[in-house]
Structure 1
Amino acid sequence: MIFDRVKPLDAILATAEKKALHRTLGGFQLMLFGIGCIIGTGIFVLTAAGAQKAGPGLMLAFAIAGAVCIVAALCYAEVASMIPVAGSAYTYSYASVGEFLAWTVGWALILEYAVAASAVSVGWSGYFSGTILNEFLGITLPPWLAAGPLALGGAPGGFINLPALVIAMLVTWLLMIGTSESAKVNAVLVLIKVTALTAFIVLTLTSADFDMARFNPFLPAGVFGGFGSGLGAVGAAATIFFAYVGFDAVSTAAEETKNPQRNVPIGLIGSLLFCTVFYILVAAGAIGTIGGQPIMGPGGIPFPAGSEELARQCALPAYSGALVCSDEALAHVLRQIGFSGIGNMLGIAAFLALPSVILVLIFAQTRIFFVMSRDGLLPERLSRVHPKWKTPHVVTMITGLIVALGAAFMPVGLLADYANAGTLYAFFMVAVAAMVLRVKDPHRHRSFRMPMVWVVAPLTVAGCLFLYLNLPLIAILVLPVWGAIGLVVYFGYSRSRSQLGRGVVEVVDEIGGEEKMVPIDPPTG
């Protein structure tokens, strides 16, 4: 049977016990940590794509995506506090529903991290080209070097997004030679991001250009755009869900949180609510000052975000200042209402902050590879460590090349949709893991025990499925196609080489505290 290999939870926890975690974080600290993790790429990059899908209904889209994230966060918090080890949703699935479904989750996470890093690279390119090159240096890149063939707002005929390609390869090189982020630098970048967005909200909402008439019609494409259309408020929610990715990092801090039963939900829900309100205010400021109505195609249906048809419309003089046509939306809004200097500063904030996000995403990708390789599901040579740099150079280089190619030729909105498909599946499986472990192991210690699990977890499952089915059809299809490739790899290579399938699990020597491989009775089949 393919569902018979479930990794013993005791073995997973034994590995985690090698390091003692001190409980030092309070609810407010956890909330600030969450805000720093969440605010980033999505709000800087996807505002234009979201507006093209929903118009002013982008504000409702942020609320819908935030609500799904809140229930998913509670599931993450319980399982992470119970299984505080590397591997995230992949490891949780391995301990609850078994190796086969864990493989599908790990395979989806590979899609999520790589494609998300490509999306951030494209977003960074927009701010680099618009703010650094154009505004400060007076340089305009030729259209064929500034955008991929279907890049949002790029002139038709674009060939390659050269800045996105370069930043992806540069970050990959830094990871390969061992350069790591400084916590102090990260803290400064978070402060820059929050300050820039706060200034944007104040300037736009108090601007003389702000006009409530620009919010009418509020839902030009309706609430539901229809299956596979990716339009309407829900379709936009499925795309800008990308703006919330990162909150799962908060859930993994449950083991280091004082009074987790109280402080974990404060940190998770507090940070998500803060960011949701923040995002809605940013959307309101952008739309109220320069408008955010989508560019309509035949039959009164918005052109798809990132499509060639939209790019042709955006190249027309009539739409030169439109929010939906900008690839540096927030800086563009401030320039349009007379705050060019502050708009440029916001562009610089994005220019400085986004490469660190690319780095974290590629780093996370290599760690998922590591855990799967350690379990025997991927070739061990993929995680080979460079003798001089002491980094997994092979898998980092492969990941970086994939990220760079995606960034060079694809639009940011479509990349975000692809990444969201993998993310939503991972969140779906974490909710399933929470329910399965409540049944299989109800008495296991949980630092945070989710209230109303049989309400919250099914809501998470339904919410993730709901958003997934409201992605554009091509993004809906990407996940099963990618999954089918994964099944070929699993049954052709991974299943026969799995450590668990060969009867070996990783535990900790109770006396010496050192890792060793201990044989167990292998499952049948």
Structure 2
Amino acid sequence: MIFDRVKPLEAILATAEAKGLRRSLGAIQLMLFGIGCVIGTGIFVLTAAGAQKAGPGLMLAFAIAGAVCIIAALCYSEIASMIPVAGSAYTYSYASLGELVAWTVGWALIMEYAVAAAAVSVGWSGYFTGTILNEFLGVTLPPWLSAGPLAFGGAAGGLINLPALVIAVLVTWLLIIGTSESAKVNAVLVAIKVVALTVFVIITLPQVEVQRFNPFLPAGIFGGFGTGTGAVGAAATIFFAYVGFDAVSTAAEETRNPQRNVPIGLVGSLLFCTVFYILVAAGAIGTIGGQPIMGPGGIPFPAGSEELARQCAMPIHAARLVCSDEALAHVLRQLGFSTFGNLMGIAAFLALPSVILVLLFGQTRIFFVMSRDGLLPDALSKVHPKWGTPHVVTMITGAFVAIAAAFFPVGQLADISNAGTLYAFGMVAVAVLLLRRRRPDQERKFRVPFVWVVAPLTIAGCLFLFLNLPVAAMLMLPGWSALGLLFYFLYGRRRSHLAQGMIQVPESEIGTLEPDIPGIADRNRP
């Protein structure tokens, strides 16, 4: 049978026992860590795309996406406290749903991390082109060099997004030669992001005009199946702005009184980010307006589409929020705060490359764990003799990210990434329920309250958002999964260590199989 391979939980936990972790984190520390992980990419990059989908309903979209994340975060926390090892949703699925499902989850995570890195690269390109080149250097990059041509409905008005390609290649090169950022540098970048957004809220909210929110839902709550519009369609895209909270759930092993502090840290950080995001959206839309540019039948033109690019090229629309590649800086400039607008652009310019770095590191981590289980070729984890980094898999990943960033619009990349994320989060909720049934006595540092309500709500919420993505983004996941299943049955299933009876990682290998995450000590390394 194809669902008969479930990796023994004891074998998975053996990889975490090389080093015990000291419980030192409190609720406030977890909350601040969560805020730092979450705030950044989505709000800087996707505000314009979200407004084009939902108009002022973008604020409701943030609330919907945040609510789904909160319940998913609780499920992540229980299973992370129970299985405190690398691999995230892939490892959790392996211990509960079996090898086949774990493979599909890991395969989806590979897509998620890589496509997310490409989306951030495109977002960084907008701020680099608008702030660094235009505002400071007086250089205008030709449109054919600053926008990718591929979109799920036509060209986006360019030939290649050269800055996005370059930043993806540079970050890949840094990873290959072994350069990593420290926790202190990461903390400074988080502070820059939070301060910049706080200044944005302080400047814009006093100038909000209520009439700019009318109509509040120009595309309705549901924009129509497969269109990815309306408040719920925008929520499916804006979900990207919350990804990163799962990093908090993995800290359950290092938390004092995790049953109390983990939910406070997770729910508190997500509530803070949700309110913060709503305030930013209110400031942007309430000052210069955020109504979408409508197409035939009262449906907004797809973000990143050829027709939207054509509309935004018209003088009558050029200054609109939905037409900007650097939305928050654009709002401040339109209000006459050019200096603060430029500082906002600099903040994004400085902070976003670190996000690309962490995403590429995370993707490499999933590759390593799957390779460790024998499901992927050993060559993918080959280490460079000089730099001591997994250069083969890093180059492959970097090439994919660079190509995607060069040719696709940011909104569509975020939608594709979200499809994989939502699938993984849904499987984590399923895994929590199965392990409650199969391993009720297994130690859990944190237990989801009302799990038989919360976990099904998580599954339903993830499915709900998935079904409100654009149809092409929805189809990308089964298409990518079909490719992965082909590889699994041709290679991974027969080469799997579990199939060969190799279910435990030798102690000598623990700590050498997984790359370091920037600013985070490797828990498996003594």
Give me the TM-score of the superposition, normalised by structure 2: 0.96
Pairwise CA distance, 1:363: 0.6
Select which of 362, 365, 369 maps to 1:364. Answer: 362
Matches within 5 A, 1:92-241: 92-150=92-150, 157-207=157-207, 210-241=208-239
Aligned to 1:521: none
Instruction: Specify the alignment match of 2:498 in structure 1.
Output: 500
Checking the alignment, whether the CA contact within 8 Å between 2:156 and 2:304 is kept in structure 1 is no
- For 2:515, the equivalent position in structure 1 comes to none
Structure 1 pair 110–514 and aligned structure 2 pair: CA distance change class (3 A): closer
Cα 1:514–1:305, aligned 2, differ >3 Å: closer, same or farther?
closer
Matched, 1:69 2:69: yes
Of the candidates 342, 345, 348, which is equivalent to residue 347 of structure 1?
345
1:293-372 correspondence runs (5 A): 293-372=291-370
Calculate percent identity across the aligned residue pairs.
79
Q: Deviations over 1:447-497 (max 9, x none)?
A: 001110000000000000000000000001000000000110000110000
Superposed CA RMSD in Å reads 1.5
Q: Which residue of 242, 245, 254 corresponds with 1:244? A: 242
Which ranges in structure 2 are unaligned for 5 or more consecutive residues? Answer: 513-526
Calculate the TM-score normalised by the size of structure 1: 0.96
Q: 1:394-442, CA deviations, whole angstroms, 9 ceiling, x for partnerless residues?
A: 0000000000000000000000000000000000000000000000000
Give the match for residue 430 of structure 1. 428
Q: 1:17 to 1:298 in 2, by over 3 A?
A: same
CA shift at 1:508, angstroms?
5.8
1:77-125, CA deviations, whole angstroms, 9 ceiling, x for partnerless residues? 0000000000000000000010000000000000100000000000000
Measured in 2, the distance between the counterparts of 1:247 and 1:436 equals 23
Q: Find the partner of 1:399 among 391, 394, 397.
A: 397
Matching residue of 2:446: 448
Counterpart amino acid of residue 202 in structure 1: I
Are the counterparts in 2 of residues 37 and 246 from structure 1 also a CA contact under 8 Å?
Answer: yes
2:6–2:94: 8 Å Cα contact kept in structure 1?
A: yes
CA contact (8 A) 1:196 1:349 kept: yes
Query: By how many angstroms is 1:313 displaced?
Result: 0.2
Amino acid at match of 1:228: G
Q: In structure 1, what is the Cα distance between the partners aligned to 2:372 and 2:510?
A: 16
Deviation at 1:134? 0.2
Q: Deviations over 1:247-297 (max 9, x none)?
A: 000000000000000000000000000000000000000000000000011
Tell whether the 8 Å contact from 1:435 to 1:453 is kept in structure 2 after alignment: yes
Map 1:267-306; keep pairs closer than 5 Å: 267-306=265-304
Deviation at 1:343, TM superposition (A): 0.5
How far did 1:303 drift? 0.5
Shift of 1:157: 3.9
Residue 505 of structure 1 aligns to a residue whose secondary structure is coil
Displaced runs of 4 or more, over 3 A: 154-157, 512-516
Distance in 1 between residues matched to 2:379 and 2:151, nearest whole Å: 36
Question: In the alignment, what sits opposite 2:518?
Answer: none
CA displacement at 1:369 relative to structure 2:
0.4
1:156 CA displacement:
5.8
Partners in 2 of 1:499 and 1:465 — Cα distance? 32
Match of 1:519 in 2: none
1: CA distance, partners of 2:362 / 2:79: 19
Provide the C-alpha distance between the structure 1 equivalents of 2:150 and 2:411, rounded to a whole number of angstroms. 10
Return the alpha-carbon distance in structure 2 between the equivalents of residues 514 and 372 of structure 1. Answer: 14
In the alignment, the residues of structure 2 paired with residue 162 and residue 462 of structure 1 have an alpha-carbon distance, to the nearest angstrom, of: 39
SS in 2 for 1:85: coil
Say whether residues 1:40 and 2:40 are aligned partners: yes
* Aligned residue runs from structure 1 range 461-476, under 5 A: 461-476=459-474
| Cα deviation digits, residues 121-161 of structure 1 (max 9, x gap) | 00000000000000000000011111111579x99641000
Alpha carbons 1:155, 1:312 under 8 Å: kept: no
In the other structure, the counterpart of 2:52 is 52
Pick one of 386, 389, 407 that aligns with 2:387.
Answer: 389
Give, in whole Å, the separation in 2 of the partners of 1:391 and 1:138. 39
Q: Which AA in structure 2 matches 1:306? A: G
1:315-356 Cα offsets, whole Å, 9 max, x none, are: 000001000000100000000001000010010000000000
The aligned length equals 511
